[in-house]
A and B are shown apart, each in its own frame.
Chain A
Amino acid sequence: MKTADILVIGGGPAGLCATLNAAEMGAKVLLVERDDALGGQLVKQTHMFFGSEKQYASTRGIDIGKLLIEKIGTFENVEVMKETTVIGIYEDGVVTLEERHGGYLKVKPESIIVTTGASEKFLGFPNNDLPGIYGAGAVQTLMNVYGVKPGNNVLMVGAGNIGLIVSYQLTQAGVNVAGIVEAAPKIGGYLVHASKVRRMGIPIYTSHTVKQAHGSDRLTGVTMIQLDEKWQQVPGTEKEIEVDVLCISVGLSPLSELLHQAGCEIKYVASLSGFVPVRDENMMTTQEGIFVAGDVGGIEEASSAMVEGYLAGLSAAEWLGYSSDTLTERKTDLKEQLRSLRSGPEGARIRQGIEQITRQAPGNASRKGQAMAAVPGK
């Protein structure tokens, strides 16, 4: 059976940063990534990131990914397995992996950092299975990873940051965006992103939703409709739009099923967009030795995912008994970065969510000979 000090599950922004810091502390890290490339969603992010210099603000996500991946390559104590999916965590602490091109193996890590990220939410409306209806992630993959236009005329659903950014990127790719439909009465994403697409002439229809999609072999049009204050469709306000692509960007939900399996305490927290693990301020879940970072612990921006990753990497290594002179200082700095990223009005929702799932009594910072706890969920 394969062994490792720390198994990091998922090579997105959180997983990369967790790997880097754990490896720097001296831990032997196994990083497992389902895709054929590391970077997670960073590989599609052609826009500049927000935040401060510490979180690579003003650098494009795609370049941040390259930077982190390059650094990982400098560590001999990191093993990367790509095209490999973690499919289970068992009560004896054994983790099973499936390799894409054949192969099934077991790993017994001393500690785990789960950075599996999130999946996209979808909408239920008539004909939502027509070809031409995509999630925003798929549209970004087609355009920004493979250089393929998803279509010629797009209606975007969702005016959160992803909906706004992908609308902008579609326009950069020469695709017409007919409009952005948003069920809420207000734009959810950053207003600078909204202003950016508005001055290109893209309308944003707040308090509107998709009533129905049309087409037989593929999407040919969409009926949108207005919503009242109680989110009910207002008959007579239907509007037909001819489009060949409907792009759904209505939020993400944390991919926490492995944490369920490991027996971690999970709570539904609406402001973090779904079922998320209870953890302490060092990112350790209620199961000793199992840590989380990034969207799996609640949907946020990639900047906080990276900081959480750095923190979880340090904490996991510390738990295993590794140490460094600057450990306390660095952990304090990372916690301060998280506090500051979440301190504004945009972070109010996140703060309130994090409060609900941060456990008061922290786990042991160091395991003192104790093994990682993984028991089936109750």
Chain B
Amino acid sequence: MLEKTGVATPEEIEKVFPSEERLKKGPVVIVECFREIPCNPCYTACNQNAIKEFIDINDLPNVDHDNCNGCGLCISKCPGLAIRVLDMTWSDEEAMVRIPYEFLPLPVAGDIVDGLDREGNKLVDVRVEKVQNSKMMDKTPVLWLAVKKAFAKEVVFMKPQPRKDTRADETIVCRCSDVTLGDIRQMVEDGYTTVDEIKRLTRAGMGPCQGKTCGQIILREISMMTGKSMEELTLGTYRPPIKSVKLGEIAKTAERGEES
């Protein structure tokens, strides 16, 4: 029972599910909202008149699947994250399931991830086909998941699989100060998400090369792990000198009285 478990029963799901006939026609919305709460952004988001105007704001969404063109505008607007779009016509073997996903790191197209059911059980491996993360989605990105047709109606969420990275954690990122990829990832995982912070804590970028080797690698790791684009990140603060200089050379200049 939904109220006891938080998981909808097959009967409840059947009530909101598009007909087989409609599923055969292409992408269509599925709104798993089973309890009247004061909320109507799904109606506001829909410009196909597929989610009908609410007479009372507490009404359940009234969905006309025949009007839905599967545009998916409503997916990231639902505060309850209760909306997904299912396309059973995607290919011969696979259906496309579009779900809202508010977790970092975001997957990238091509990733194989765990397809989960309503209780979080893994049903099947699914492939991330596309990641939509526009400004309009306001931090509720939409994932396009290619799912084997037999599982497509039951896959409602996904979990990344442990990263099979061929690069060992011992891979050296900063040669000057012996900082490894594992060190950098640990830093980002602990919440240090700028080059400056990582520099101060690991000394990466403070050696003879002054970050020429490690800077870009660290930036890419931060970008991948936080989901921020490279444009949003910076290489940190530059201060003189830009390369290592012998103290003696500076001292000689001073001795010659050229310090000013």
Please list the residues of chain A having a beta carbon within 8 angstroms of any beta carbon in chain B: 47-53, 57-60, 63, 147-149, 159, 171-172, 174, 185-187, 190-202, 204, 206, 301, 303, 340-347
Establish whether residues A200 and B120, one from each chain, have CB atoms under 8 Å apart when the complex forms. Answer: yes
B119 at the interface (CB under 8 A from A): yes
Q: Which residue on chain A has the smallest CB distance to residue B118?
A: A199
Chain B residues near A171 (CB, 8 Å)? 103
Interface string of B20-48 (1 = CB under 8 A from A): 00000000000011111111110011000
Chain B residues near A190 (CB, 8 Å)? 35, 37, 80
Chain A residues near B7 (CB, 8 Å)? 195, 198
Give B68-97 interface residues, CB cut-off 8 Å to A: 77-82
Q: Residue among B34, B45, B57, B140 with the most chain A CB within 10 A? A: B57
> Does more than half of chain B's interface fall in helix, strand or loop, or is it mixed?
loop
Q: Which residue on chain A has the smallest CB distance to residue B104?
A: A172
Kindly identify which residue among A48, A172, A199 contacts B157, using a CB–CB cutoff of 8 Å: A199
Q: Which residue on chain A has the smallest CB distance to residue B119?
A: A198
Bound together, the chains give a CA A332 to CA B207 distance in angstroms of: 68
Establish whether residues A53 and B4, one from each chain, have CB atoms under 8 Å apart when the complex forms. Answer: no
Chain B residues near A206 (CB, 8 Å)? 4-5
Also in contact, A192 and B38, with CB within 8 A (given A187-B4, A201-B120): no
* 7 closest A-B pairs by CB: A344-B58, A201-B120, A192-B80, A194-B6, A48-B79, A50-B39, A58-B41
Q: Can you list 17 A-B pairs, Cβ within 8 angstroms, ordered by A?
A: A50-B80, A51-B57, A52-B38, A58-B41, A58-B77, A58-B138, A172-B102, A195-B80, A196-B82, A197-B6, A198-B5, A199-B118, A200-B159, A301-B38, A341-B38, A344-B36, A344-B58
Bound together, the chains give a CA A255 to CA B32 distance in angstroms of: 36
Establish whether residues A344 and B37, one from each chain, have CB atoms under 8 Å apart when the complex forms. Answer: yes
Kindly identify which residue among B6, B57, B191 contacts A195, using a CB–CB cutoff of 8 Å: B6
Chain A residues near B33 (CB, 8 Å)? 192
Bound together, the chains give a CA A342 to CA B57 distance in angstroms of: 9
B244 at the interface (CB under 8 A from A): no
Chain A residues near B120 (CB, 8 Å)? 198-202
Q: How far is the CB of B101 from chain A (nearest CB, A)?
A: 11
Bound together, the chains give a CA A201 to CA B57 distance in angstroms of: 31
Q: Which residue on chain B has the smallest CB distance to residue A195?
A: B6
Establish whether residues A201 and B116, one from each chain, have CB atoms under 8 Å apart when the complex forms. Answer: yes
Q: Which residue on chain A has the smallest CB distance to residue B31?
A: A192
Bound together, the chains give a CA A206 to CA B33 distance in angstroms of: 21
B56 at the interface (CB under 8 A from A): yes
Kindly identify which residue among A149, A174, A196, A342 contacts B81, using a CB–CB cutoff of 8 Å: A196
Q: How far is the CB of A58 from chain B (nearest CB, A)?
A: 4
Q: Which residue on chain A has the smallest CB distance to residue B60?
A: A344
B156 at the interface (CB under 8 A from A): yes
Q: Which residue on chain A has the smallest CB distance to residue B83?
A: A192
Q: Which residue on chain B has the smallest CB distance to residue A148?
A: B191
Q: How far is the CB of A157 from chain B (nearest CB, A)?
A: 16
Bound together, the chains give a CA A65 to CA B80 distance in angstroms of: 20
Kindly identify which residue among A58, A148, A199, A345 contacts B119, using a CB–CB cutoff of 8 Å: A199
Chain B residues near A200 (CB, 8 Å)? 116, 120, 157, 159
B2 at the interface (CB under 8 A from A): yes
